[in-house]
Amino acid sequence: MSASGRAEPPAVNGFNLVGRETFEQAVERVLVLADPGKTGVSELLDELVPWLTPRVAELELRRDLREFCRQVELAALPLPPRPDVIVVLGGDGSILSAVRAFGADPVPILGINFGRIGFLASVRATQWRGALADVLEGRAVLEPRMRLAGELRVRDAAPAASVALNEVLVQRGAAQGMLTVSLWDGDTWVSDYRADGLIVASPSGSTAHSLAAGGPILAPSMRGLVVTPISPQSLSHRPLVVHPDSRLTVRVEKASGLTTLVVDGHGFYPMHVGDSLLVSRHPVPYPLLARPDSDPYARIRERLGWRGTFEPEAEGDAPHGRHPLVEPGHGEVL
């Protein structure tokens, strides 16, 4: 208990685990999905597969993650027997592909990062043995990531449903002028936006397109919806963070051409004046796995260069993941 009488949040190795829980499930069946377009993935597979095979009852390897996930989404390929864990070798886009493929029956995903950023694929390639050992030995933690449920309502067509881990985006065509969209929270009108587009992001998606458009960063384990306009004509239009139980409606009011709905950078759907998108919190979050000593703030410092460099922090040589050369109050300012 703290001095105020409040219960302290659970922690492992000094890290706050609010919103996360220890992953103690027995792991017998593992599916490894590899992105062959990422440099170094093939070489790592030559080490990872022999290491992992004797440690689990069943190991399935798919060397072309994107093609596998595409076939699963198209129902052209049946899902394999449900694995206990999916290991993804790739970047954040690879994670999003796997989440889409297994979205109806979420399987915990451990992402080993071979991309440029790696907010979702949080484990460095050099840490793969330790990360997998954490998973197999019950030390890893689950980070339930809030998802978005979208329903596209268009003229003369049945509503189309979609699910996003990061974001949904209503945007203008490349060669047309600004569009005007209205935003409603339930039955309450929020505003009309004249802009290049409007993003509704989850906490996970707050570090993706929304961040690039000037939106805020939300802790990945929290709940909330981020609404961020893209290049709004009015400088007074600022990003909003709204309650996770809000039911938002984005309606196309004016457009000089085709408007599109984009879901996690994928699945382009045409929209016209009068069409609307309903966005709410999906009832089932998607579980991502992380190491027990993972520090989301260190991840942000490293990915966004808040330490004055984009070089990765030293691994395991300072308490709580702190870089030995960068102490609080002594970091460089970009």
| Percent of the chain predicted with pLDDT > 90 | 69
Does residue 137 lie in a domain region?
yes
- C-alpha angle 115/106/291, rounded to 5°? 50
* Residue type, position 10, single letter: P
CA atoms of 16 and 4, how far apart (whole Å): 18
Residue 63's DSSP bridge partners are none
Does residue 326 lie in a domain region?
no
Cβ count within 10 A of residue 55: 13
* Residue type, position 226, single letter: V
Does residue 328 lie in a domain region?
no
H or E segment and range at residue 281: strand 276-281
Do residues 275 and 291 both lie within one domain? no
pLDDT for 319 equals 39
Mean pLDDT calculated for residue range 269-284: 95
Do residues 110 and 203 both lie within one domain? no
Q: What is the CATH classification number for the domain harbouring 244?
A: 2.60.200.30
Q: Cα 162 from chain centroid?
A: 15
Q: What is the CATH classification number for the domain harbouring 100?
A: 3.40.50.10330
Tell me: the pLDDT tens digits for 200-259?
Answer: 999 999 999 999 999 999 988 889 999 999 999 998 999 999 999 999 999 999 998 889
Residue 109's DSSP bridge partners are 86, 288
Question: Mean pLDDT in the chain?
Answer: 86
Do residues 158 and 265 both lie within one domain? yes
Residue ranges making up the domain that contains 299: 11-145+286-321
Do residues 135 and 19 both lie within one domain? yes
- Listed range (226-230, 274-278, 315-319) with the worst mean pLDDT: 315-319
Do residues 39 and 80 both lie within one domain? yes
pLDDT for 2 equals 43
Does residue 334 lie in a domain region?
no
Do residues 293 and 245 both lie within one domain? no
| Burial class of 157 by CB neighbour count within 10 A (0 to 12, 13 to 18, 19+) | exposed
CA atoms of 107 and 319, how far apart (whole Å): 31
Sheet holding 148-153, edge to edge: 160-164, 148-153, 276-281, 248-254, 179-185, 188-195
Does residue 227 lie in a domain region?
yes
CA atoms of 268 and 167, how far apart (whole Å): 13
CA atoms of 94 and 265, how far apart (whole Å): 12
Does residue 2 lie in a domain region?
no
Do residues 126 and 179 both lie within one domain? no
Does residue 152 lie in a domain region?
yes
Do residues 240 and 290 both lie within one domain? no
Does residue 38 lie in a domain region?
yes
Are 96 and 109 in contact, with CB atoms under 8 Å apart? no
H or E segment and range at residue 150: strand 148-153
Do residues 140 and 66 both lie within one domain? yes
Question: Which residues are tagged catalytic?
Answer: 92
Tell me: the pLDDT tens digits for 142-174?
Answer: 999 999 999 999 988 889 999 999 999 999 987
pLDDT for 294 equals 82
Do residues 141 and 17 both lie within one domain? yes
Do residues 242 and 93 both lie within one domain? no
Question: What's the number of domains the chain is made of?
Answer: 2
What confidence tier does 53 reach under pLDDT thresholds 50, 70, 90? very high
Do residues 112 and 18 both lie within one domain? yes
Q: Nearest CA to 240 among 285, 168, 204, 191?
A: 191
Four-point Cα dihedral 323, 328, 333, 334, nearest 10:
40
